[in-house]
Structure 1
Amino acid sequence: MLRVMIVEDEQPILDLMERLVGEHPLLQVAGSFASPLAALDRHEELKPDAVFLDVEMPKMGGIQLAEKLKAQNEELQIVFTTAYPDYAVEAFRVHAADYLLKPVTSEELERVAARLLKLHVMRSGHRPVIAVDKEPIARCIGTFETRGANGSLINWPTRKTEELFAYMLAYPNRLVGQWQLADLLWPDLDEDRALHNVHNSVYRMKKALKDAGVSMDLSHSNEGYRLQISPDFSDLERFRDFMNRTSEIDMRNAAEAAKLLRSHAGSLFGGKDYSWSAGLAAEIAAQQAGLARMLTAYYRRIGERSAAKETLRVYLQHAPLDEEMTGELLRHYAEDGEIGSFRTIYEQYVRRLEAELNVAPAEEIRKLAAAFIRKSTET
């Protein structure tokens, strides 16, 4: 995923560009600015891979800004956006990667994104990968904890402050309306009191993070708040980043996938009962199953059956009632003639279903168990 900075002095167009870039699976908004001077000031801190620049802006035009940004990072990819095609020749003088005419469409952005990624891969020799060995500041999968610069846990002043931070981590790099936060976190309070609590909790959140030595980019406007984070800030973003850029596991990403499966297991926010998180928790759970499924398929393709079974066991430790993956593991044991492991997993599954759901296994799994156990007994 490429980090993109957007510079556009017209707010409606800036909002459109943020939405288009934010929705693209290959791109992430690293920062957006209506002022070219502010963009120049923040560039070295945000470290974008590419920048979308409006050509005509007050105080400093896009061509001039591109030259200054290139002086800081000659590898930076520049994409100009303008309503005037006459700038094309001048734009390519500063080695622009591409040139878009307004209004920018999702189709045109798709073309540019593919070009940017291709150029990035040609220069770096590999796809951008998040270092999974680096401990994230915030852990959101299987637990919910945030650590300061010295590694100690951050103690939030109130539960609502912690929940507010959880929501910002769940939906980063986008504008979150202040009234939306008020309705989500304090639905039973009147509007003025709820909005006061939002502002107060944001202040407490920023102070707790600052006191812990955690730097963060939280911007505020009349509409709401925006938390800008990189993919390695939280394990949730790290997991999303991998899943967004991965459609299949192969030898290039198998090691990263296996590490992610082990380190990103369990329910979102450790199962904390946030009223707004149920849908997102289900989405993450589905992606975890998808990762296990892809990794298992890869190991089977290369003949690593032991690794395939271990992958399924790791996944089922945190999702023991998953019918499809339990059936897949049982089929592996049956194909390999492992009656002891088959019996253990099947009997555990039967007991859990009865205890937690008061149901029996699916007919397909029951038939598989009956046939394999009968065959093993006969031999």
Structure 2
Amino acid sequence: MMKAMVVDDELLVAEQIDRMLVNAGVKVLGCCVNPHEALQMAKTLQPDVLFLDIEMPELSGLEIAEMVYADKLDLEVVFITAYNQYAIDAFRVNAIDYLLKPVMEEDLQRSLERVGKRRRHRGEAVDNGSQRTGIVELFGKFALRLDGGQEPVRWVTSKCAELLAFMLLQPSEKELSKWELFEALWPAQNAEKAGINLRSTVSRINKTLRDCCLGVSLASVKNGYRLVLSAEALAVDAMELELFVLNAVELGPVNLAHVEQLVHRCSLPFLQEFDSAWCEPYRKQYRQYFLHLGKKLLMYYEKAEAEPFKALRLADSLVEQSPYDEFLRETALKLHYRIGGSQRASAYYEAYAELINNEVGTLPGDTLTALLRDLTD
């Protein structure tokens, strides 16, 4: 049997909805007319669904819903309102439905069906493996994929994806003040508007993550938020790349295929879809990590005398990120020589010499020039 709780500052309205719910076969755990007591009452009673009036004095239903989702209560919210204009605000905080006053039985039944469907879906996910795992891609277009699936999680707004990406890039368990988040994601807005957008975005993220059964959330702390991750809930491509580089992992037959896949994945533009100023330092940082690991793989290929076309594809991918890196140019020159001899090596050198002269106004370095001479003599 579905369990419900009703919050409305008008006692007669609360009692009417109570009776309608009972007639629909729902167990009503309690009715609350004081909005300030609603959150604690919901924590104590743990209903499946909270029927919540929007227009209440001092503390609105929208504010209560934000606190409910921030506290990760396992319940759905259905708003009750006399004004259709609140529908948009209702769905900002991921309410499953809203009802217009006076509440009609057919509308209430529709909401109960939606709640039941959502609860069954979440229960099936839990039964099929308790907590799910996710893979996050920060290189290329931001994506969160569940349990190795190909279809990414859909976000209500692009700001949800951006805020989650920003939090994932912070040191573990770091608390960020709301002012830091305002500056990063809503720098052009005043504090009041940025605060509304931040709370709304956090609520949406937490609702989506809760529906995914991931064990990940944005927890409210004093004047800010921190990212809470359960063990092994998420694998993030950027974090994996960083660990390989900072831990100086050696390449060998055991991990070669994995490193090749990682380098290929991280050759895509970092945080591709976001244009906020906060992204730039991270782009520079992870570009350096990519180049470091890519060069390491390239040297492994050279030492192992790997198939030259395979090695050249990697060299070209690295050159795209750092076109004037002469180590990469020297390695590519040797590979062109292995593939096509003196003529191909000379053509590659001349193309690079023209590029660097036109764009930088200089000539290839002495080492690269000497290498060409040694190869073609």
User: Structure 2 length normalisation: TM-score?
Assistant: 0.53
Name the counterpart of 1:145: 143
Name the counterpart of 2:209: 209
Are residues 214 and 303 of structure 1, via their aligned partners in 2, closer, same or farther at CA, if it must alter by over 3 Å?
same
Letter in 1 for 2:328: M
User: Equivalent of 1:237, from 236, 239, 243?
Assistant: 239
Letter in 2 for 1:170: L
Report the CA distance between 1:200 and its aligned residue: 1.3
Q: Which region of structure 1 is more displaced relative to structure 2, 200-209 or 307-316?
A: 307-316
Letter in 1 for 2:279: S
Are residues 232 and 251 of structure 1, via their aligned partners in 2, closer, same or farther at CA, if it must alter by over 3 Å?
farther
Name the counterpart of 1:300: 302
Superposed counterparts of 1:7-46, under 5 Å: none
Report the CA distance between 1:183 and its aligned residue: 1.6
Name the counterpart of 1:218: 218
Report the CA distance between 1:179 and its aligned residue: 1.6
Report the CA distance between 1:223 and its aligned residue: 3.9
Distance across 2 between alignment mates of 1:303 and 1:212 = 46
Name the counterpart of 1:157: 156
SS of equivalent residue, structure 1 residue 233: strand
After superposition, what is the alpha-carbon deviation per residue over 1:146-192, rounded to whole angstroms, capped at 9, x for unaligned? 23566423333223222211201222522222221012111222223
Name the counterpart of 2:105: none
Name the counterpart of 2:166: 167
Distance across 2 between alignment mates of 1:217 and 1:316 = 38
Letter in 2 for 1:362: P
Does residue 312 of structure 1 match 2:315?
yes
Letter in 1 for 2:263: L
Does residue 339 of structure 1 match 2:339?
no
Note if contact 2:137-2:237 (Cα within 8 Å) is conserved in structure 1: yes
Letter in 2 for 1:282: K
Name the counterpart of 2:178: 178
**Count of paired positions:** 240
Note if contact 1:219-1:225 (Cα within 8 Å) is conserved in structure 2: yes
Are residues 148 and 328 of structure 1, via their aligned partners in 2, closer, same or farther at CA, if it must alter by over 3 Å?
same
Report the CA distance between 1:313 and its aligned residue: 3.7
Distance across 2 between alignment mates of 1:216 and 1:268 = 23
User: Equivalent of 1:274, from 266, 273, 276?
Assistant: 276
Distance across 2 between alignment mates of 1:158 and 1:359 = 45
Name the counterpart of 2:259: 257
User: Equivalent of 1:290, from 292, 303, 326?
Assistant: 292
User: Structure 1 length normalisation: TM-score?
Assistant: 0.53
Are residues 333 and 287 of structure 1, via their aligned partners in 2, closer, same or farther at CA, if it must alter by over 3 Å?
same
Report the CA distance between 1:304 and its aligned residue: 4.0
Seq. identity, %: 21
SS of equivalent residue, structure 2 residue 272: helix
User: Equivalent of 1:364, from 363, 366, 369?
Assistant: 366
Letter in 1 for 2:176: V
Note if contact 1:296-1:312 (Cα within 8 Å) is conserved in structure 2: yes
What 5-or-longer segments of structure 1 have no aligned partner?
Answer: 1-134
After superposition, what is the alpha-carbon deviation per residue over 1:188-233, rounded to whole angstroms, capped at 9, x for unaligned? 2222322222111111122233345544143221142222344852
Report the CA distance between 1:296 and its aligned residue: 2.5
Report the CA distance between 1:291 and its aligned residue: 0.6
Distance across 2 between alignment mates of 1:257 and 1:212 = 29
Moved over 6 A (4+): none
Computing the radius of gyration from Cα coordinates, the structure with the larger value is 2
Q: Which region of structure 1 is more displaced relative to structure 2, 364-373 or 160-169?
A: 364-373
SS of equivalent residue, structure 1 residue 219: strand
Note if contact 2:135-2:146 (Cα within 8 Å) is conserved in structure 1: yes
Distance across 2 between alignment mates of 1:300 and 1:336 = 14
Are residues 366 and 197 of structure 1, via their aligned partners in 2, closer, same or farther at CA, if it must alter by over 3 Å?
same
Note if contact 2:134-2:214 (Cα within 8 Å) is conserved in structure 1: no
